[in-house]
Structure 1
Amino acid sequence: MTTTFDDTVDAGTAARTPFEELRQRLTGTLHTPDDPEYAVRASAWNLAVEMAPAAVVAVRTAEDVATTIRFAREHGCTVGVQATGHGAKSSLAGHLLVVTSGLDELVVHPEGWARVGAGVKWLRVIEAAAPYGLAPLNGSSSDVGVVGFTTGGGVGPMSRMHGIAADKVRAFDVVTGDGVARRVTPTEHPDLFLALRGGKGATAIVTAVELDLVEQATFYGGAIYFDGADAEGVIQRWRDWSARLPEVGSTSFALFQLPDLPGVPPPLVGRMTLAVRFLWVGDPAEGRALLDEIRGLAPVVLDDAGLRPYTEVDAVHADPVDPMPCTDPAMLLTDFPAEAAELLLAVAGPGSGSPQVLVEVRALGGAYARPPAHPDAFSHRAAGYSVLAVGIPGTGSSEHAQCLFSALSDWDTGGIWPNFGPPHDETTARRAYAPATLRRLAEVARTYDPDGVLQCGEYARLADAVTT
């Protein structure tokens, strides 16, 4: 039997909940559907996802989070959490959606670490760390929130060099589902420390995180673009080239079909192009020489690679910033041999009729694949590649993505990063976590959230249905 989440708020529970009582306890604000600010506060980054809680609590302090959770326990409600709204799922909103964007604390310590509030996006950390020659292990977009990215594991442009973002966590400040504020480190509540690094929001709401930074003032990289007609030859050479890339380099390729929108370079509009993304933290001359091997494969439509300050790291992936409706399923591969590349191009390449705006294949390995210093809940270090398909709802993009994934099924690991496939039912929970990890998350959730207040914790408890 497949367990699923209820996508709607229980109307009876909502009607009986004295929200005015909670409002009086908060330093932040509470918004119900009759409030003009409700829609803005509840809105996810992906405009195709509707978050419809009975109320939104825009917290200003960690005590606001604790107050909300304790109130929910008193009144039989569930609590969801959202900061930037990336990776949102309707069923994870809960009765009370805690919005943490007001937790905006940020302190960068020149000796190499930072304390970051749950509402902070990566861009602020990148800019604050830059004067010291430091950088965080941010995601491919600096517009994403630090905490959500890190608790999902956090695979970014420097993961091959330094591991995933969760590997750099020193400590969390959290409020668990029993309404208790806790500090979590490798020695204080080590079970929570494991669960929070990769377990997304299953066991607690994070109010702040402390993480190590790396010494990185500049990098060589960006993206170079080819016409779609040259995709087959470039991708086949990219396969061999990326396989021998030292760990100080990371790369992906992306098939683009970009509309005429503000910010889209004119040479890329209205055609299929192939972008080879590259980030190199070694000697810049060596990085340029390596990328020149790719540059020479075919005529370059647009060359946006060079020596850059780390504050320009978004140039590597050039992800959109403004909220938009999209479909964005993903998968992980064991390998990406020539046959897989041919199948991918047949389904999503030139002449295929693909509706996708983007199809990306990212090479993994290096420090990403190595075990962390402390056990965590991230289950996918053996994966060799990731695949992401981004489309527009109503264009057949979801159905097409499943055709693409079916074509690549011989190399499917069966897993998915929690950040690319937020767990929200039994199927997605099984894909996000190995059975033993899911059972561990369930154990931690039962310990710290015995009444099942945290909506994200529900997928951890689905481990009771998992069999090995």
Structure 2
Amino acid sequence: METTSNPALAPELARRVRGPVLTPGRDGYDEETAGFNLAAERRPPLVLGATGPEDVRAAVGFAAERGLRLAVHATGHGAGLPVADGLLVSTRRMDGVRVDPRTRTARIGAGTRWHRVIEAAARHGLAPLNGSSPLVGAVSYTLGGGLPVLGRTFGWAADRLRSVDIATPAHGPVTAAPDRHTDLYWALRGGGTGYGAVTAVEIGLVPLAGLYGGGLYFPGASAERVLTAWWEWTGTIPEAMNTSIALLNLPDAPGVPEPLRGRPVVHVRIAHVGRPEAGEALVGPLRALGPRLLDTVARMPVTSIAAVHDDPTEPMPYDERSLMLGPLDTGALSALLERAGTGLVMVELRHLGGALGRRPDPAGPFDAIAHRGASYSLATLAAVPGPGAIGSGVHGPGAPGSGAPGSGVPGSGAPGPYEAAALLDRMAPWGTGRRFANFLGGPRAAFLACEAYTPDVLTRLAAVKDAYDPDHLLPAAHLTGSHL
């Protein structure tokens, strides 16, 4: 296998594709390789800006002929591996969305971000099972499992995956679906990427026009009281209520609203599906906890769902880690507060259960691991060195779905990933032993990805990879040996 690309390969590839073929130093190279997580290294010797499925298929065939390593890049939010050799295919131009209101499905291109799907579906009174940020790539999010904002009500995003068009090194372009290439379809429904280069997917949508949601922001000094009350409250709420809580250390930066700037904050996220009056009644006990720095919970159209979490909208260098948890107790809360106070940018608990615990038909990789039985997910965010300035311009005006508060913004003084590792180790007694693949990002994330799956699932996923990418041209860090 060639691990580096001879510059002479660029014109040869250019003759086969329509999109730009770039090498380091060429105009457009930096823009084509840039990703949301600035801590990830992407400096390959050869880059293709794919304009459509034909370009992707040509690139996969070219890489297979030459024995080149091949990586695919959409938005750069995920874990990924350093891309320092071979060919990088950027799919950001492939962002088409086609909604079929009759079948309640959407066909989306490989580089599509969630905000485009949300907007297209909303025109028909429908919604996708998107995550907290509308800027995340919809395809990689779904293939990694996809924990939606409305997951307790509607389940995992991977369960709504109808079909995948994918160019594979061994079999060329194929469509994986319940009745075609069923082994590959099984792997793609939560088993991550690395089996080929996806060109498009079809996903199921849910009927939804609006919700009762937003954020309750409490002073950091009330963390113990609010966290305890929130935990007790999650044991009483129906599946229509989706919620998470984040302990934040926000920077003193212009992008952060004055009430939250430069101070610890407790952010309770609310997303209720159903009558707004019912949602308001359910939130009442939380509002009764005391004064709030901000309260943005109200009726909203589904197109404003990003305001529930209000994730950052500008690229930054960060390390994200995760752990799936079982039932918690007061000891778990004490352990979390003990380590969360060390200055991590964010420590988040998401309430699971409900539809997230139900098994679909057909099954996927999630049905053999602990995710469906988990009660909560734990995620951490730590600032790490990188070329971007952390905490500046975090909520650019007009960002798709951006909300007013601007929470979740890293601060430049936050400690590194070792603090996150210490917290996750401390929480291990309440863990399921598994990480969540979508909540891994940063320099070490790829080497933690295998811990998202049980050994038997990894064995089966590896068999699928060997069938469709036998020479391991594409990176798949969660599969044993594939990152070496």
User: Is TM more than 0.5 here?
Assistant: yes
Q: Give 3-state SS (helix, strand or coil) of 2:320's partner.
A: coil
Measure, in 1, the Cα distance between the counterparts of 2:324 and 2:84.
27
The answer to whether residue 360 in structure 2 is matched with residue 369 in structure 1 is no
Alignment check: 8 A CA contact 1:171 1:210 kept: yes
The Cα shift of 1:275 comes to: 1.0
Structure 1 residues 157, 425: CA separation in 2 closer, same or farther (over 3 Å shift)? closer
| AA partner of residue 430 (structure 1) | C
The Cα shift of 1:194 comes to: 0.6
Counterpart residue number, 2:309: 317
Which region of structure 1 is more displaced relative to structure 2, 34-43 or 363-372?
A: 34-43
Alignment check: 8 A CA contact 1:284 1:307 kept: yes
The answer to whether residue 133 in structure 2 is matched with residue 141 in structure 1 is yes
Counterpart residue number, 2:42: 51
Counterpart residue number, 2:466: 446
Q: Which residue, 59, 71, 75 being the options, matches 2:66?
A: 75
| AA partner of residue 192 (structure 1) | L
Counterpart residue number, 1:3: none
Alignment check: 8 A CA contact 2:44 2:83 kept: no
Q: Which residue, 8, 21, 25 being the options, matches 1:34?
A: 25
Deviations 1:47-104 (A, max 9, x none): 1211122211111121211111111112121101110111143435651111111112
| AA partner of residue 296 (structure 1) | A
Measure, in 2, the Cα distance between the counterparts of 1:202 and 1:89.
10
Counterpart residue number, 2:379: 388
The Cα shift of 1:307 comes to: 0.8
The Cα shift of 1:179 comes to: 5.8
Deviations 1:374-427 (A, max 9, x none): 121233222211111112115423111112112212112221111113698995
The answer to whether residue 295 in structure 2 is matched with residue 290 in structure 1 is no
Give the unaligned 5+ runs of structure 2: 386-413
Counterpart residue number, 1:430: 450
For residues 399-438 of structure 1, the aligned pairs below 5 Å read 399-421=418-440, 428-438=448-458
| AA partner of residue 94 (structure 2) | L
| AA partner of residue 31 (structure 2) | V
Give the unaligned 5+ runs of structure 1: 1-5
Deviations 1:270-292 (A, max 9, x none): 11111111110022111101111
Measure, in 2, the Cα distance between the counterparts of 1:179 and 1:261.
51
Counterpart residue number, 1:256: 248
Q: Give 3-state SS (helix, strand or coil) of 1:211's partner.
A: strand
The Cα shift of 1:309 comes to: 0.5
| AA partner of residue 441 (structure 1) | L
Q: Give 3-state SS (helix, strand or coil) of 1:39's partner.
A: helix
Counterpart residue number, 2:396: none
The two structures, once aligned, show a CA RMSD in angstroms of 2.2
Q: Which residue, 319, 343, 346 being the options, matches 1:358?
A: 346
Measure, in 2, the Cα distance between the counterparts of 1:172 and 1:201.
12
The Cα shift of 1:15 comes to: 3.0
Measure, in 2, the Cα distance between the counterparts of 1:122 and 1:196.
19
Measure, in 2, the Cα distance between the counterparts of 1:464 and 1:324.
24
For residues 102-141 of structure 1, the aligned pairs below 5 Å read 102-111=93-102, 112-141=104-133
Counterpart residue number, 2:144: 152
Alignment check: 8 A CA contact 2:248 2:265 kept: yes
Structure 1 residues 138, 413: CA separation in 2 closer, same or farther (over 3 Å shift)? same
Q: Give 3-state SS (helix, strand or coil) of 1:49's partner.
A: coil
> In the comparison of the two structures, how many residue pairs are matched?
451
Q: Which residue, 201, 207, 226 being the options, matches 1:209?
A: 201
Alignment check: 8 A CA contact 2:320 2:441 kept: no
Fraction of identical pairs, as percent: 41
The answer to whether residue 103 in structure 2 is matched with residue 95 in structure 1 is no
Measure, in 1, the Cα distance between the counterparts of 2:322 and 2:449.
14
Q: Give 3-state SS (helix, strand or coil) of 1:391's partner.
A: strand
Alignment check: 8 A CA contact 1:425 1:459 kept: no
Counterpart residue number, 1:275: 267
Which region of structure 1 is more displaced relative to structure 2, 198-207 or 113-122?
A: 198-207
Q: Give 3-state SS (helix, strand or coil) of 2:383's partner.
A: coil
Alignment check: 8 A CA contact 1:203 1:441 kept: no
The answer to whether residue 397 in structure 2 is matched with residue 397 in structure 1 is no
The answer to whether residue 337 in structure 2 is matched with residue 345 in structure 1 is yes
Measure, in 1, the Cα distance between the counterparts of 2:90 and 2:167.
14
The answer to whether residue 253 in structure 2 is matched with residue 241 in structure 1 is no
Which region of structure 1 is more displaced relative to structure 2, 418-427 or 310-319?
A: 418-427
Q: Moved runs in structure 1, 4+ residues, more than 6 A?
A: 422-426
The Cα shift of 1:234 comes to: 1.3
Which region of structure 1 is more displaced relative to structure 2, 57-66 or 372-381?
A: 372-381
The TM-score, its normalising length taken from structure 1, stands at 0.92
